[in-house]
Amino acid sequence: MVSVSSAPAATQLSIPELFARQQGRAGALRREAVSSRAARLRRLDTWLTDNREAIQQALYTDFRKPAVETDVTEIWSSQTELRHTLRHLEKWAAPRRVGTPLALVGTNGWVQAEPKGVTLIIAPWNYPFYLAIDPLISALAAGNTAIIKPSEMTPAVAELLARMCRELFEEAEVTVVQGDKDVATELLKLPFDHIFFTGSPQVGKIVMRAAAEHLTSVTLELGGKSPAVVDQTADLRDTAEKIIWGKGVNAGQTCVAPDYVLVHEAVRDELVAEMKAATQRFYSPQGQPISESDSYARLVNDHHFGRVAGLLDDACEQGTQVAFGGTIDAGQRFIEPTVLLDPPADSRIMQEEIFGPLLPVLTFSSLSAAVDAVNEHPKPLALYVFTQDKENQRYLLQNIPAGGACVNETILHLAHPELPFGGFGNSGIGRCHGHAGFLAFSNEKSVLRQRVGLTALKPLYPPYTDSVKKMVNLLLRWL
């Protein structure tokens, strides 16, 4: 049986014991005022501010993430979500009145959000801090307890999260359970009230099967091959900068990173030239090797490095042209930002989610052909459309199903707290961020209140006489 270390006193609890303790606490949290939830969130906000350098160091230790990227993608994004939630929490938690249909005149109704109870957050390795904190904010806002299972691939961040929880929360409210897939398997055997998982579609299916044993609700934030479609009207310098930034941040280890580019054949060469220039401006402004840049992260571990390097090798073995980049260094787990031209459709790089700094570029001659090429793959987590033609924008957004989309931008929809974020089909189930995240961790209880002794339908109670039948006929006809 797996034991977990909790609280500063180093109490040893098994996972079932910890779960039981949180079950016992969940009832008390349900009865708490919204102000108590807000107080926990404010403490978390203060901790993030006070521990900025510790967060930066943990991310650098795990995969040499630049401090500025940590500030923007791990800390700022977390605090944006947190402060947005604090501004709106009282409104979200208040009962929401609904209208009354004529047939039920005399009643009134409302929807009140109530906590689901004990929740499990399984965080990934690629943004190991933010993707643990973001769902935690929603879980706490909705009044739940939470067990966080961070990735074992980022041990420095996992330990930092554990310290954070020890300093801020009682273990019966929020705690971290560290370990490998065996620990995750043991956690998934328990009857959680909600599971929030971020990771691959393959593991997402395992989580969903486990949740089905207890009919546990799930939010699955998965992935897929997110395309960028560039038409002949796009501003190519601006487009290139945004695609290279979206692909280069965190060395491509981003679930919504552009996975491949479809560009109109008339502007392919110019776009590639602009992408090469943007890469140099970002990571080699003085002409130094990109491996010496302090603005570029590394792949998380040797296994992941080998997988991404294998995608590059496979593409090259099939005759794919490297437009620029291609340098790798296994000792540093370094792969240079690399653009590949027209890899075969059956190559691994066009069949698997890349999750690294490799970017295939393919061409199209018509928008319908671009749509068909995207829709040959499972529905992506994100779609990026680059155009200055409103009709082209409408056509692409209407005809390519995706979890979310940006027009003339990449990734930033993920940072918008008013935009529900999530996948579609193979790329995920459910939504998070802002009010959508609050609702994901809440049960929307519908309530109808009637005055004592009255009901609009009392005249329709049995026995079903001829007069009752006439009234039902009127009801069906007019109401």
Q: Is the peptide bond before 417 cis (omega within 30 degrees of 0)?
A: no
Give the separation between CA 288 and CA 280, rounded to whole angstroms. 9
Helix (H) or strand (E) holding 14: strand 11-14
Here the tokens at position 463 are: 């026995």
**DSSP string across 44-93:** HHHHHHHTHHHHHHHHHHHH---HHHHIIIIIIHHHHHHHHHHHHHHHHH
Q: Which residues of 77-101 are buried (b: 16+ CB within 10 A; e: fewer)?
A: bbbbbbebbbebbeebbeeeeeeee
Asked if residue 424 lies in contact with residue 407, where contact means CB atoms within 8 angstroms, the answer is: no
Give the separation between CA 32 and CA 36, rounded to whole angstroms. 6
Residues belonging to the active site: 221, 255
Give the separation between CA 164 and CA 7, rounded to whole angstroms. 10
Asked if residue 133 lies in contact with residue 459, where contact means CB atoms within 8 angstroms, the answer is: no
Give the separation between CA 58 and CA 53, rounded to whole angstroms. 9
Give the separation between CA 330 and CA 162, rounded to whole angstroms. 31
Helices marked H in 348-401: 348-351, 367-375, 390-399
Give the orientation angle of helix 77-93 with respect to helix 34-50, to 10 degrees: 170
Q: What is the dihedral of CA 383, 386, 388, 389, to 10 degrees?
A: -50
Give the separation between CA 85 and CA 138, rounded to whole angstroms. 8
Closest C-alpha to 85, from 440, 396, 325, 444 = 440
Q: What is the dihedral of CA 214, 219, 222, 227, to 10 degrees?
A: 140
Helix (H) or strand (E) holding 156: helix 155-168
**DSSP string across 99-140:** ---GGGTT-EEEEEEEE--EEEEE--SSSTTHHHHHHHHHHH
Please give the span between the terminal C-alpha atoms of the chain, in angstroms, as a whole number. Answer: 60
Residues 6+ apart with CB under 8 A from 166: 6, 7, 8
Give the separation between CA 435 and CA 76, rounded to whole angstroms. 19
Asked if residue 396 lies in contact with residue 368, where contact means CB atoms within 8 angstroms, the answer is: no
